[in-house]
Amino acid sequence: MLQFLVKRLVSGVFVLLGVSFITFIIGYFTPVDPIRQLMGQHYTYVGWLQLRHAYGLDLPWYQQYYNFLFHCVKLDFGTSIHYQNRSVGDILKDGVPISTELTSWGLLLTLLLGIPAGILSAVKANTWIDTTNMTVALLLYALPGFIIAVFAQVMIVWCNVQFGLNWPVANWGTPWHYALSDIQAKLVPVLIYGAAGYAYFARLARTSMLEVLDQDYVRSARAKGLSERAVIYKHALRNALVPLITSIGLSVGLLIVGALFIERMFNIQGIAHIAIDAVSQGDFPVIQATALLAAFGIVTGNLLSDILYTIVDPRIKLV
Amino acid sequence: MGTSGRGFERVSRGSVTSTVVRKAPDEPEPPLPEDTRQHLSPLQISLRYLWHDRRALICGGILLFLVALALIGPPIYQHIGGISPSDLSGSIGPGLYHQYYHEELSRQDELPSAQYWLGTDSVGRDILARLMQGLLISLTVAVVVEIVDVGLGLLVGILAGYYGGWIDQLLARFTDLMFAFPSLLFVMLLVGVFGSSAATFFNKVPLFGDPGNARLLVVSVALAFTSWPMMARYVRGQTLQIKEQQFIEAAHACGTGDLGMIVRHVIPHLLSILLVAAALDISGTIIGEAGISLLGFGVTDPGSSLGLMIADALDLTATHPWEVLVPTVVLAAIVLSFSFLGDSLRDALDPKRNNC
């Protein structure tokens, strides 16, 4: 187990190194001179040289990369170019609670609705329940979040006009507060963020459950006279959950960037929104930090899924 | 009775009809009906299967219509309609007011009319004209990305799968890396860095050089760059499977060299798989372009793209929901059509399916 963990950790670190190198090298070759942009009309050659030296941009590339890595390890991503006196960590700190709130509710919803829906579909395979459920899941899976978001917003507007409601269209209440107005604002974005995951888990759960229901041990359980309930919930369900649990690990990794479009569509000031703003402002340190954060999330998610896999299914040998 | 296999078939069926035959033994035997069974090639069988798949036909029809709309729609549309007074340029004809970039500030946020078939947007531009231009952009990006994606994926995937060794190792590491790098963030990174100077680089390239479209090439390159490793990994897996088949062994025994093996035996078996993968991939590419334009990093005004149209109309959802619905519905239709068509293609091209 330990050996396996170490191996996965090392490969994860290598992936992170690769990602950091790509982000660094793209930034290094940027045709836009950040110092010049920063100075604007106050540009003087001497000042330019001084600032360049102060930011460490006059060093050779390997030295810069080394410094960059060294600071990353200390969780210091430098200072933002656009907001001159704020550190990148400070900027990201505003977005983290909002993004995690959106995505954790979304993930919870996904799991609590998607997996039971898929299991139900498998148990009632080829009935109208199954067909409806899978059609909805297919549509939600094929369509990207922003299209569903547009439809939802138009629906909200229509309901507001039709029934005289005052439901907010694009807003996010106070993070981690749940007054009525907060819930109103958060409900739709969370639902839409969860929709894609719902569809994915429902489809996966259905396939996995159908496969398990076809196994010999399920037939044996039925043959020895167990009630259908016991067969499904005690024997089949546990085995059907194995592939699902590993996917949960993977989706945890996507928590941070997964909400890119939802945050844009509903004007939620999370990390993804910060990243979008940073790109349009050419604020490179912030972009770098968000890319690294996202990659870190995915590597951690992968690791988590590997660990979960071995815990759930003891047949898997760790090499 | 007839001869060979055909006669045998008759005998086996004969138990029912035998009494009829015995009644008139003197009559000359009626000529056997013409053998109407055709010997179809696998491709013909697949096409016939697809022809009977109503969902695939509808999806294909929608896509063909949209492609036709993008390619021949604008020139036709620019010749329909009468002369109309304009704010700034006096009386103008449809050649101008049906241009996707022409603004008519006194005609904002209109619903469909005889002059503007799908209405106008918030600065008085014709929505149908913008839609057709947006479709053209989506198509172009999809085709460019798919060519790079399939080309590179096929090349590297076959090399890795067929030869193994260091190419395989390199591909595995590289795909690991690209897995961990969210493709959207990578695209944002590239666009953020190179986007602002793209206009000066690409102003000579057709379509991409038009005002507002400069970043499109950066977006396409980034999308292709993030999608080909997955394709290569997929091709590699399929190549490994094909390599184990008996006909490869037979070809080896006949003395076929590596190149001949790849070109004449491996690639033909990959084509149908690649077609399906590409069809499913295209919808992802179109979503990607629309999404990036929606975030404001792809096509910018005065250019047009489905994503940009959604972004422009997003603030007006409460007052003019029509404007945001049009591009969204069209985009949804494209995406769903490609997904369904890909699924149907997979069924049709699957040699192991039992009915046809």
- Residue A172 or B274, more confident: B274
In contact, B174 and B160? CB cutoff 8 Å: no
pLDDT at residue A234 tops 50:
yes
Contact check, Cβ <8 Å, A290/B190? no
Of A85-94, A113-122, B61-70, B215-224, the range with the lowest mean pLDDT is A85-94
pLDDT on residue A287: 79
Which tokens in the block code for residue B324?
A: 């945001």
Which tokens in the block code for residue A102?
A: 């959106």
Angle at B147 between CA B141 and CA B151, to 5 degrees: 150
| Least CB–CB distance from B291: residue in A29, A144, A151 | A144
Contact check, Cβ <8 Å, A19/B314? no
Report the percentage of chain A scoring pLDDT > 90: 0
ipTM over 0.85: no
pLDDT digits (tens, 9 = 90+) for A41-72: 777 778 778 877 777 777 777 788 887 788 77
In angstroms, rounded to a whole number, what is the distance separating the alpha carbons of residues A17 and A23? 10
pLDDT on residue A129: 84
**Cα torsion at B88, B90, B96, B99 (round to 10°)?**
30
- Residue A81 or A22, more confident: A22
In angstroms, rounded to a whole number, what is the distance separating the alpha carbons of residues A177 and A162? 29
Confidence of residue B20 (pLDDT cuts 50, 70, 90): very low
Best mutation target, B215, B282, B295, B308, to test chain A (most A CBs within 10 A): B295
Beta-carbon pairs below 8 A across chains A and B = 122
CA distances from A94 to A175, A238, A266 (A): 10, 40, 17
Residues of chain A with C-beta less than 8 angstroms from the C-beta of B192? 278-280, 282, 284, 287
pLDDT on residue A23: 79
Can the peptide bond before residue A189 be classed as cis, meaning omega within 30 degrees of 0? no
Kindly identify which residue of chain A lies nearest to residue B340, measuring between CA atoms.
A142
pLDDT at residue B26 tops 70:
no
In angstroms, rounded to a whole number, what is the distance separating the alpha carbons of residues A310 and A4? 10
Residues of chain B with C-beta less than 8 angstroms from the C-beta of A287? 188-189, 192
In contact, B219 and B227? CB cutoff 8 Å: no
Contact check, Cβ <8 Å, A32/B196? yes
> What's the average model confidence in pLDDT over B79-84?
72
pLDDT on residue B36: 64
pLDDT on residue B32: 66
* Burial state string for B171-192 with b = 16 or more CB within 10 A and e = fewer than 16: beebbbbbbbbbbbbbbbbbbb
> What's the average model confidence in pLDDT over B137-151?
87
Nearest-Cα distance to chain A for B336, in Å, is 6
In angstroms, rounded to a whole number, what is the distance separating the alpha carbons of residues B22 and B26? 9
Count CB-CB contacts under 10 A for residue A238: 11
Best mutation target, A146, A264, A268, to test chain B (most B CBs within 10 A): A146
In contact, B62 and B330? CB cutoff 8 Å: no
Residues of chain A with C-beta less than 8 angstroms from the C-beta of B324? 150, 153-154
pLDDT on residue B12: 42
Give the helix/strand (H/E) hosting B92: strand B91-92
pLDDT on residue B16: 44
Q: Is the dihedral of CA B297, B302, B308, B311 positive or negative?
A: positive
pLDDT digits (tens, 9 = 90+) for A100-157: 888 888 888 888 888 888 888 888 878 888 888 888 888 888 888 888 888 888 888 8
Contact check, Cβ <8 Å, B332/A298? no
State how far Cα B347 lies from the chain centre.
17
Nearest-Cα distance to chain A for B55, in Å, is 14
Nearest-Cα distance to chain B for A234, in Å, is 34
A37-51, A104-118, A247-261, B211-225, range with greatest mean pLDDT: A104-118
pLDDT on residue B6: 41
**What is chain B's length?**
356
| Least CB–CB distance from A19: residue in B180, B188, B310 | B180
In angstroms, rounded to a whole number, what is the distance separating the alpha carbons of residues A71 and A139? 44
> What's the average model confidence in pLDDT over B331-345?
86
Angle at A71 between CA A68 and CA A73, to 5 degrees: 110
Confidence of residue B3 (pLDDT cuts 50, 70, 90): very low
Residues of chain A with C-beta less than 8 angstroms from the C-beta of B180? 15-16, 18-19, 295, 298-299, 302
Residues of chain A with C-beta less than 8 angstroms from the C-beta of B291? 144, 146, 261
A224-228, B58-62, B161-165, range with greatest mean pLDDT: B58-62
Residues of chain A with C-beta less than 8 angstroms from the C-beta of B173? 18
| Least CB–CB distance from B328: residue in A31, A150, A169 | A150
pLDDT at residue A224 tops 80:
yes
pLDDT digits (tens, 9 = 90+) for A164-211: 777 777 677 677 777 777 777 778 888 888 888 888 888 888 888 888
pLDDT digits (tens, 9 = 90+) for B179-197: 767 777 777 777 777 766 6
Confidence of residue B170 (pLDDT cuts 50, 70, 90): confident
pLDDT on residue A31: 65
The helix/strand/coil state of B17 is helix
pLDDT at residue B130 tops 70:
yes
Mean pLDDT taken over chain A: 79
In angstroms, rounded to a whole number, what is the distance separating the alpha carbons of residues B326 and B332? 10
SS (H, E, C) chain A: CHHHHHHHHHHHHHHHHHHHHHHHHHHHCCCCCHHHHHHHHHCCHHHHHHHHHHCCCCCCHHHHHHHHHHHHHCCCCCECCCCCCCEHHHHHHHHHHHHHHHHHHHHHHHHHHHHHHHHHHHHCCCCHHHHHHHHHHHHHHHCCHHHHHHHHHHHHHHHHHHHCCCCCCCCCCCCCCCCHHHHHHHHHHHHHHHHHHHHHHHHHHHHHHHHHHCCHHHHHHHHCCCCHHHHHHHHHHHHHHHHHHHHHHHHHHCCCCCCHHHHHHCCCCCHHHHHHHHHHHCCHHHHHHHHHHHHHHHHHHHHHHHHHHHHHCCCCCCC
Confidence (pTM): 0.79
B91-95, B209-213, B254-258, range with greatest mean pLDDT: B254-258
In angstroms, rounded to a whole number, what is the distance separating the alpha carbons of residues B230 and B198? 27
Phi-psi region of B108 (alpha: psi -120 to 50; beta: other; left: phi over 0): beta
Quickly list H helices, B88-164.
94-97, 127-163
